[in-house]
Amino acid sequence: MQENDRKTLPCGCEVQTSRDFLGRVVGTIVTRGSECPRHEHAAGQVVVMPGRDNARPGDR
């Protein structure tokens, strides 16, 4: 997982990834996917990236 990378989410949105102050990988929505069902995925919104990128030992 690269930081400051562009990724396309499964929903089709394109995000710019970075790390927040907790060390989690988050994505800032750059382009909203035309098929995206999630209204919170608006351009400029920050979402926590799903999946193992955020799995850390001792985390729940």
Residues contributing to the site for Zn ion (CB under 5 A): 11, 13, 36, 38, 41
Q: How far is the CB of 42 from Zn ion (least distance, A)?
A: 9
Closer of 40 and 59 to Zn ion (Cβ): 40
Q: How many residues does the chain have?
A: 60
Q: How far is the CB of 58 from Zn ion (least distance, A)?
A: 30
Q: How far is the CB of 34 from Zn ion (least distance, A)?
A: 10
**Six token digits for residue 47:** 């979402």
CA angle in degrees (0–180, nearest 5) for 24-21-12: 40
Closest CA to 49 of 12, 21, 15: 15
